[in-house]
A and B are shown apart, each in its own frame.
Chain A
Amino acid sequence: MIGVYHPGTSLVHRAPALAKLGVLAALVTAVALIGSLAWLGVASVVVVVLFVLSRVPVRIALRQVAPILWVLAFAVPVQVIFGGWEAAAVMALRLVIAVALAGLYSLTTPVSATLDAMQALLRPFRRWIDPDRVGLALALTIRCVPLLAELVREVMEARKARGAEGSVLALAVPVIVRALRTSEHLGEALIARGFDD
């Protein structure tokens, strides 16, 4: 979801996030239940049509599916040995279709629209759960991934510069201290931006 969104004005881009989440859930569930190669072939065609409708460049679309191919490179041969080629093909198609659909959702939906959709979903339960708070927690979770990745990268560089590459302590202590300090600063920034309750 982070930095994946590809701006556009296609029908898929303009569809409400809540509807897209519903379709995504329904299609992934259907694909998980389908055991026939022929029907999975039909589902694959549907996915391709959705990608065409979204007008996302092929190169960017393939980048979403590429990581799962590495997993399949190991999983398919094992499945062929123990379950036969048909079971391996069903498993591979299911995974590729599910990942492609999730990728299509991320490519065509800004994170803020997903947060709005989640808040809309939670609204009927607002007596027990504060939708704004959940939305904010999700936003912060998403934000913290690149923030922590950058922090770990910097600490690893510093550790290397001090010649302590193998030391877990030299990695863990500064990362924890800086993560706590960063969370304090982030909290302060949220208060300054009006999220003070």
Chain B
Amino acid sequence: MSEIVFEGVSHRFDQVLVVDDVSLVLRERRVGIVGANGSGKSTLARMINGLVTPTAGRVRVDGLDVARNGRDVRRRVGFVFTNADNQIVMPTVREDVAFTLRRHRLDRADAEARVDAALERVGLTALADRPAHRLSGGQKQLLALASVLVAEPAIVVADEPTTLLDARNARRVAEHFATLDQQLIVVSHQLELLEDFDRVIVMDEGRVVVDDVPTAALDAYRALIA
């Protein structure tokens, strides 16, 4: 498993302290992050692959400083966003997955094999030539996941991947996330998604207030928001 280290990390946005002096070491296979809106959980997740740079402290992934080695870190860390529509670039499903590999300079056969494998992994092979923007919400989120997996990252970070989906699609997407081999960091409001995880971190007003096994952490979070 990879190792993600937050060392005294803070982030200030427009004079507001969004993340306040967080220190964590994440080595577990599946880690959940929960918290109310504005608690800093999405900002924390975005720091893992350098989408957000801390204003104080340091984030390291497998020893690499994210601020200095952003490109190398992003090759190791795939990111799935809440709204898959924002992640789709190319017109068809297959082309969108292949788009991720454009900068990888693979030969055509290797790239096609990886695209096919990623589509099969998320069950989208039958829809490979369909227009990506006409997929259902759940299918779009699976496409976003395939677009990440095709790069074969060591870590997958997902920021509320099921928030915009109905219950059935959310369950389907969650099932795919559960079977990933990669280290998985999931930010979510849907607590049942995190029940089988190895560790859950609860954030409030930019700070880590609970860091425990899911049962204890989720109970603490329910008490916090009650």
Contacts and interface: CB of A to CB of B under 8 A. Distances in A.
Given A192-B78, A196-B70, A196-B74, A1 B85 contact: no
B172 to A, nearest CB: 22
A25 interface: no
Given A142-B91, A143-B91, A185-B86, A194 B70 contact: no
A110 to B, nearest CB: 6
A109 to B, nearest CB: 11
Interface string B126-159: 0001010110000000000001100100000000
Contacts of B98: 112
B88 interface: yes
Interface string A168-197: 000000000000001001101111111110
Contacts, number: 87
A139 B89 contact: yes
A112 B86 contact: no
Interface residues of A, number: 29
B64 interface: no
Task: Say what secondary structure dominates the interface of chain A.
Answer: helix
Contact of B74 (A142, A146, A192): A192
A191 B74 contact: yes
Interface residues of B, number: 34
Contact of B92 (A5, A182, A192): A5
Contacts of A7: 129
29 contacts: A2-B91, A2-B131, A3-B92, A5-B91, A7-B129, A110-B92, A110-B95, A111-B91, A111-B95, A112-B98, A132-B102, A132-B103, A139-B90, A139-B99, A143-B89, A143-B133, A185-B83, A185-B86, A188-B81, A188-B86, A189-B87, A190-B89, A191-B50, A191-B51, A193-B87, A194-B74, A194-B100, A194-B151, A196-B70
Interface of B: 49-51, 70-71, 74-75, 78-79, 81, 83, 85-92, 94-95, 98-100, 102-104, 129, 131, 133-134, 147-148, 151
